[in-house]
Structure 1
Amino acid sequence: MNYLDEFKKFISSYQLSAGIRITLGAVLPSLILQHYNLLSEYIAFPLGTLLLGATDSPGPYARRRNALLIAIGTYFLVALVTDLLRDYPFIIFVEIIFFGVFFSLAGVYGNRANNIGLIALLVFVFNIDDHLSRDLGLRTVLIFSLGGLWYFILFLVLQKLRPYVLIRQLLGENFVELGKLLSIKSGYYATKPKYEELFSQMVHQQVILRENHQNLREILFKTREFVNESNTTSRTLMLMFLDSIDLFERILNSQQDYHHLHEAFEETKILRLFGTYLRWLSEEIQQIGIAVQSGTPSKPKHNLDLAFNKCARSFDSLRERRMDHENIEDFIMLRQILNRMQDITERIKKLHRATSFDSKLGQTLDVNVNLENFIPKQDYHPRILLDNLSLKSAHFRHAIRVTLALLIAYLISITFEFGHGYWVLLTIVTIMKPAFSLTKQRNIYRIGGTFTGLIIGFGLLYFVQDGTALFLVLMFSMITAYTFLKVNYFIASTSITLYVILCFYFIHPDNLHGVLQDRAVDTALGSLIAFVVSYYVLPLWEYAQINQYLKGALLANRAYFDIVSLRYTGQHVEIGRVKEERKNAIIAMANLSDNFEKMLSEPKRQQPHMEEYHQFVATSHMLTSYVASLSFYMETTDFDDFKSEFEAMIRQIDRQFEVAVNILEGRTVDPIDLTREALPQNQKLVQLLANRKKEVRELGITHSAQGTDRKRISDLMTINGLFELISTITIDEIKILQVIMKNNTGHN
């Protein structure tokens, strides 16, 4: 994507709109208060707006509304209790223990509850001394709550005025990220591709798409009118989301043996031509995403029909010149790639038309899935919290670490003289996460961002004297901070530091030097405490959890394979069940990838078997891709007369899955004979292929191409090859798991 498209994407993104909404929500009342010289006295009002705005996250309207109301009530109670008990130092330690554990454990109820818990801790920290309320007490608590209520009213008004804007923004972002996935995929067709680098990029991109899909599913399937209403906009948005899921599957199931592909066709230009066309397709998908975000019809950047026809002609020409009875399988592989590109092309053309929100297109929506199975479910029963009160729980360990770090920081802040001691606690709350890798990353970004912001702020105040210019910088830094808060913490931390300095400059210009010094010292101290506690106190390293993600990915892939393979034994399979298992497999695969990526950021001594884990992650991704490819042919090919051959292959593969699960669960299994056992050969297909080769040898390419079995043989060859690849990968996973479990046993 070029810089202009990136800019268009940014200005129409959800992140920027959220940043502007939070900033304006805080700045507008601040300007009014400043006009009447009341801002210093009522500073709690914009602070309440900012904190409640930071709680808000994408989701269905009802869930966002309820979460904001719960947050307002929670923050009021926390601020009130903290204010009433502020003068009793011993009680403050009790508060830190209670609030630190309780609100850190809120993450067991999902991201939305975790956000509320995190901001509740910030509210507690902001009110732990009297820098906000001075001697006004309850009045300041009420002003703070009114600031939150103002943001809630702003949310309701904007939701009423622009009910579809969030869906458009998230759906558009989903298409942009999908286009990037296809762009990475095109790299496999370049000369001498860097396979490891491309694979890592594919894994990372799929994790991003998994998160986008979860947000969109929750909003679309939980909002009834998107499914049931005849509203053109809602139905078209639902249609585009479902098409994006299918498009994601098409990209996912286009996995090939790229090493063999380059060996067979490297000296020709056709792979580079295919790669260029795939990049064009990726640009079209991203163009659709930008159009959906901005609410305008998309315009194709390329003539896809002309470009695809060029690819098809090049394939036909190469086929006529090079294909013979010995390399027919290679050209079948190339033909399948061409067919996939044609399928993706047609879907992109349909999506281009959908961005005009034509009512006729919206009426074609057929959800064809059990929506209840696609809606993310969250149980809020108290037993979940109680069940996590154990050192086996990662959430509870995190809660203890946060609480201990806050106790240490508070003890230091009251023992030594600090101008803004609560900043130490704020730093700890904002950077400590359950995973050490995330805490480490945010720690680095927090320190780097803080000192960068201090340098920029000092330079601005030294060289710029114009109050209007500084106010504009303040506005820009606030928007930037809340735009990148959940996207790039370094930029957010830099911007937060900058606008805090400017705020102090406007409110208390006489004490600016002390503010700069306190910000640096407090941030450094908070980061040090957070790092030491995260590293040494009840750490839960990712390798201790990875086996459950290995098992999750293995079982999900097995369930996906089992439901797809039923069709190849002659049984009827509902497409909704296939999509459900596909979703589960992709989520399990993304969870495993996410866990592995976190391991890479941990200390080296906490990274055992990294090579084996990396191999398993790679094979899991390939396995999901191959099963997805198998599902593509479920309804397109007649293979009832091949049922017996496929049944034998499916039984063998299922046995391999069973052995892999047994090894992972620690059962005594000797899989040596199984791994040496060849997959049953498809004798009928061997005979069909032999006949086809004979036709090519005797009749030549042109005349043999008229045979009625050509397309069927091509599809059956691909299906048979997919079964063989799935079998090979499951055997590889058995061998990988043997090494991992054997080393683990020896270590224990």
Structure 2
Amino acid sequence: MNYLDEFKKFLSSHYLSTGVRLTLGAVIPSLIFQHFGILSDMIAFPLGTLLIGSTDNPGPFHRRRNALAIAIVMCFAVACITGFLRHIHFIVFAEIIVFGMFFSLIGVYGNRANSIGLISLLVFVFNIDDHMSGDAVLRNALIFSAGGVWYLILFLVIQTLRPYLLIQQLLGENFTELGKFLSIKAGYYFAKPDYDELFTQMIHQQVLLRENHEHLREIIFKTREFVTESTNKSRVLMLMFLDSIDLFERILNSQQNYTNLHRAFDDTKVLRLFGTYINWLAAEIQQIGLAIQGGYSSRPKRDLDEAFNKCQAAFERVRQDRMTHENMEDYIMLRQILNSLQDITERIKKLHRATTYDAEISKDHKLNVGVDNFVPKQEYEPQTLLDNLSLKSSHFRHALRITLGLLIGYAASLFFDFGHGYWILLTIVTIMKPAFSITKQRNLYRIAGTLVGAVSGFLILYLIKDGTVHFVLMMLAMILAYTFLKVNYFIASVSITLYVLLWFNFLNPAHITAVLQDRVIDTVIGSVIAYFISSYVLPVWEHSQINQYIKEALQANRKYFDIVAAKFTGKNLDINDLKVTRKDAIIALANLSDNFQKMLSEPKRQQLKMEEYHQFVATSHMLTSYVASLSTYAQNNIQTEFFTEFELMIRQIDRQFQAAEDVVDGKLHGNLEIVRESLPQNHRLAELLIKRKKEIRELGIEKSAQSPARKVLSELKTINGLFELISTITIDEIKILQKVAPVKV
């Protein structure tokens, strides 16, 4: 994607619309208050809009609405309690313990609850200090809540006017990220690929896609308009989302043995041609994403049929000139890549047509999946909270760290004369996260962003004296702050610092130098406290959790494999079960990858057996890809005479999966001789292969190509090869796991 397309994507993204919505929601009332000369008395109103609005995470309409209402009530209660009791220091310490623990722990109920808890803590921090409300506690709590209600009204109006805006933005982003994922795959086809770098990029991209899929599933399958009261537009959007999942699987299952591929074809131009065409397809997917985000129809930028025909012609030439009975299997592999490219091409052409929202596209569409199976279940039982009151719980440990950090920060603000001491607590609350790697990153970004923002603010105020320019820059800084808050914390920190300084300059320009100093000093103090607590107080290192993610990935891949493999023994394939197990396998894989990425940001002393874990993550990606490839053939008719042969192979692979799980659990199942057992040979396929090689040798490439056995052999050879690859990968995983989780004797 070029820079212009990236800019177009940014302009139509939900991140920018969120930033604009929050900024306008805060600034418009502020301008009205300023006009009547009451802004300083009503400053809690825009603050309430900004804070309550920050809890508005992507999701179904009713969940967003309910979360905003709960946040308003909860923040009002916290503001009143804190405001009335803030002068009694020992009670404030007690409040820190109660609020710090409770509002951090409710994160066990998901991201939405976590956002409400975070904002409630911020309200608590703001109201500890006299700067915000003075003695008019109840009045300012009501004004703050009114700001939240104003945002809720704004949200309801926008949702009524543009009910599909968020889903279009997220779906468009999903396609642009999917296009980037395919462009990474294209890198494998060019000369001398950097396999480690490409793999790292794929892991990162899969994590992004997993998060996006989660948001989209929740919105689509929990929104009545998409499921029971569907319009043409909602049907087309759902159709495009489901097609994007299938397209992702198709891209995922195009995994090949790239080393063998380059060995066989590096001296031809066919791989480079394939790689170029894959990049073109990736660009088309990204254009579809931009069109969905922007609300316009997309058209192919290139003639995809002509480009595919060139790839096919190149394959035919190389096959005609170089294929023999000895290297036939290499060309079977190349043929399968060509088939995948043809399938992806047809899917992209269909998606281009879908962006027109033509009623003909969706009229025959029926939802053929069980909705409840595709949406993560979120229980709000009190027992869930009680079950996490243990040092074994990472949520509980995080709550303890937050609470301790707030206690230290509050004590420091009492003993030292800080003009805005609550900024120390504010920094601690916003920086500290359950994962050390995220806390470390946000810490660096917060300090660097604050310094850059402070210097920028000083230069603007020193060099520019025009209040109108200051106001425009403040607006831009606010938009950038809330646009990048969940995307790029460094840019967000710079922008927040800049707009806070400009805001204070409007309210009280005489004290702006003191504000500037306080902002930097308080941020540095809060960051230092956050760093030491996250490093030394009950830290949860990623290596202590990775075995659980490994087990979940193994179990998810095994279930996925069993559902797919059952078709090769004569059983019917349930498409709904297939899609559910596929979703679970991809989520488990993304969770494992995310865990490994976080390990890379931790202190070196905590990066234990990284090489082995890296190998396991890599083999897990290949395993999921091979099972996904197998599922493509499972949806076709299969030769019944091969059922017995395949069943023996499936039993063997299942035993290998079980052995891998036993190693993770620390069990000694048998004596793990399974790693030395060969996969049962497919005798019928061997006979068919010998027959086909004989045809090529005796009749030549051109005449033997007409043989009815050619297509059957190509498909069955690929299926058999996938079973062999899955078996090899699971054995490799057992060996890796024996190194990182030795079996107990």
> One fold, TM greater than 0.5?
yes
Structure 1 stretch displaced more, 220-229 or 414-423: 220-229
Structure 1 stretch displaced more, 629-638 or 652-661: 629-638
CA positional deviation for 1:607 = 1.2
Which string of whole-angstrom CA distances, capped at 9 and with x for unpartnered residues, describes residues 323-345 of structure 1?
11011000000000000000000
Task: From the superposition, tell whether residues 137 and 672 of structure 1 become closer, same or farther in structure 2 (CA, over 3 Å).
Answer: closer
Matched, 1:605 2:605: yes
Moved >3 Å (runs of 4+): 669-672
CA positional deviation for 1:672 = 4.7
Aligned to 2:687: 687
Structure 1 stretch displaced more, 29-38 or 176-185: 29-38
CA positional deviation for 1:214 = 0.4
Q: CA RMSD in A?
A: 1.0
Counterparts in 2 of 1:399-418, with a 5 A limit? 399-418=399-418
Which string of whole-angstrom CA distances, capped at 9 and with x for unpartnered residues, describes residues 9-34 of structure 1?
01000000000000000000001111
Distance (whole Å) between structure 1 residues aligned to residue 664 and residue 89 of structure 2:
51
Q: Which runs of 5+ in 1 are unaligned?
A: none
Aligned to 2:226: 226
Matched, 1:734 2:728: no
Output the amino acid matched with 2:43: I
Structure 1 stretch displaced more, 660-669 or 59-68: 660-669
Q: Secondary structure of the equivalent of 1:55?
A: coil
Counterparts in 2 of 1:169-180, with a 5 A limit? 169-180=169-180
Aligned to 2:486: 486
Distance (whole Å) between structure 1 residues aligned to residue 228 and residue 281 of structure 2:
32
Distance (whole Å) between structure 2 residues aligned to residue 137 and residue 380 of structure 1:
32
* CA contact 2:125–2:425 (8 Å) conserved in 1: yes
Counterparts in 2 of 1:108-507, with a 5 A limit? 108-507=108-507
Output the amino acid matched with 2:604: K
* CA contact 2:250–2:340 (8 Å) conserved in 1: yes
CA positional deviation for 1:367 = 2.1
* CA contact 1:19–1:481 (8 Å) conserved in 2: yes
CA positional deviation for 1:229 = 3.0
Counterparts in 2 of 1:519-668, with a 5 A limit? 519-668=519-668
CA positional deviation for 1:673 = 2.4
Distance (whole Å) between structure 2 residues aligned to residue 55 and residue 231 of structure 1:
29
* CA contact 1:108–1:384 (8 Å) conserved in 2: yes
* CA contact 1:229–1:235 (8 Å) conserved in 2: no
* CA contact 2:667–2:744 (8 Å) conserved in 1: no
Distance (whole Å) between structure 1 residues aligned to residue 717 and residue 637 of structure 2:
11
Which string of whole-angstrom CA distances, capped at 9 and with x for unpartnered residues, describes residues 79-103 of structure 1?
0111111121110000000000000
CA positional deviation for 1:677 = 1.0
Output the amino acid matched with 1:25: G
Output the amino acid matched with 2:590: A
Q: Secondary structure of the equivalent of 1:633?
A: helix
Distance (whole Å) between structure 2 residues aligned to residue 66 and residue 558 of structure 1:
38
* CA contact 1:456–1:498 (8 Å) conserved in 2: yes
Distance (whole Å) between structure 1 residues aligned to residue 671 and residue 559 of structure 2:
21
Distance (whole Å) between structure 2 residues aligned to residue 8 and residue 362 of structure 1:
28
Aligned to 2:98: 98
Output the amino acid matched with 1:465: K
Distance (whole Å) between structure 2 residues aligned to residue 78 and residue 124 of structure 1:
6
Q: Which runs of 5+ in 2 are unaligned?
A: none
Output the amino acid matched with 2:344: I
Distance (whole Å) between structure 2 residues aligned to residue 228 and residue 347 of structure 1:
26
Which string of whole-angstrom CA distances, capped at 9 and with x for unpartnered residues, describes residues 302-355 of structure 1?
110110000001101111001110110000000000000000000000000000
Which string of whole-angstrom CA distances, capped at 9 and with x for unpartnered residues, describes residues 407-464 of structure 1?
0000010111000000000000000000111100100010011101011111111111
* CA contact 1:33–1:42 (8 Å) conserved in 2: yes
Output the amino acid matched with 1:631: S
Q: Secondary structure of the equivalent of 2:380?
A: coil
Distance (whole Å) between structure 1 residues aligned to residue 135 and residue 244 of structure 2:
57
Which string of whole-angstrom CA distances, capped at 9 and with x for unpartnered residues, describes residues 629-664 of structure 1?
000001224221100100010010001011111111
Distance (whole Å) between structure 1 residues aligned to residue 395 and residue 446 of structure 2:
23
Q: Secondary structure of the equivalent of 2:545?
A: helix
Distance (whole Å) between structure 2 residues aligned to residue 67 and residue 177 of structure 1:
28
CA positional deviation for 1:465 = 1.1
Output the amino acid matched with 1:27: V
Distance (whole Å) between structure 2 residues aligned to residue 745 and residue 476 of structure 1:
60
Output the amino acid matched with 1:340: S
Distance (whole Å) between structure 2 residues aligned to residue 328 and residue 450 of structure 1:
62
Structure 1 stretch displaced more, 661-670 or 732-741: 661-670
* CA contact 2:10–2:16 (8 Å) conserved in 1: yes
CA positional deviation for 1:623 = 0.4
Task: From the superposition, tell whether residues 230 and 423 of structure 1 become closer, same or farther in structure 2 (CA, over 3 Å).
Answer: closer
Q: Secondary structure of the equivalent of 2:706?
A: coil
Distance (whole Å) between structure 2 residues aligned to residue 3 and residue 216 of structure 1:
26
CA positional deviation for 1:745 = 7.2
* CA contact 2:573–2:635 (8 Å) conserved in 1: no
Distance (whole Å) between structure 2 residues aligned to residue 136 and residue 77 of structure 1:
15
Distance (whole Å) between structure 2 residues aligned to residue 148 and residue 104 of structure 1:
21
CA positional deviation for 1:669 = 3.4
Structure 1 stretch displaced more, 75-84 or 221-230: 221-230
Distance (whole Å) between structure 1 residues aligned to residue 224 and residue 548 of structure 2:
35
* CA contact 1:171–1:292 (8 Å) conserved in 2: yes
Distance (whole Å) between structure 1 residues aligned to residue 30 and residue 595 of structure 2:
43
Output the amino acid matched with 2:345: T
CA positional deviation for 1:228 = 2.7
* CA contact 2:72–2:145 (8 Å) conserved in 1: yes
Distance (whole Å) between structure 1 residues aligned to residue 155 and residue 143 of structure 2:
19
Of all paired residues, the percent bearing the same amino acid is 67
* CA contact 2:615–2:736 (8 Å) conserved in 1: yes
Structure 1 stretch displaced more, 366-375 or 75-84: 366-375
Task: From the superposition, tell whether residues 745 and 674 of structure 1 become closer, same or farther in structure 2 (CA, over 3 Å).
Answer: closer
Which string of whole-angstrom CA distances, capped at 9 and with x for unpartnered residues, describes residues 587-616 of structure 1?
000111111111111111111111111111
Distance (whole Å) between structure 1 residues aligned to residue 214 and residue 638 of structure 2:
35
Distance (whole Å) between structure 2 residues aligned to residue 727 and residue 422 of structure 1:
58
CA positional deviation for 1:670 = 5.4
* CA contact 1:645–1:683 (8 Å) conserved in 2: yes
* CA contact 1:439–1:534 (8 Å) conserved in 2: yes
* CA contact 2:568–2:638 (8 Å) conserved in 1: no
* CA contact 1:637–1:715 (8 Å) conserved in 2: no
Which string of whole-angstrom CA distances, capped at 9 and with x for unpartnered residues, describes residues 33-89 of structure 1?
111121111100000000011111000000000000000000000001111111211
Which string of whole-angstrom CA distances, capped at 9 and with x for unpartnered residues, describes residues 217-269 of structure 1?
00000012212334110000000000000000000000000000000000100
CA positional deviation for 1:467 = 1.1
Distance (whole Å) between structure 1 residues aligned to residue 744 and residue 93 of structure 2:
43
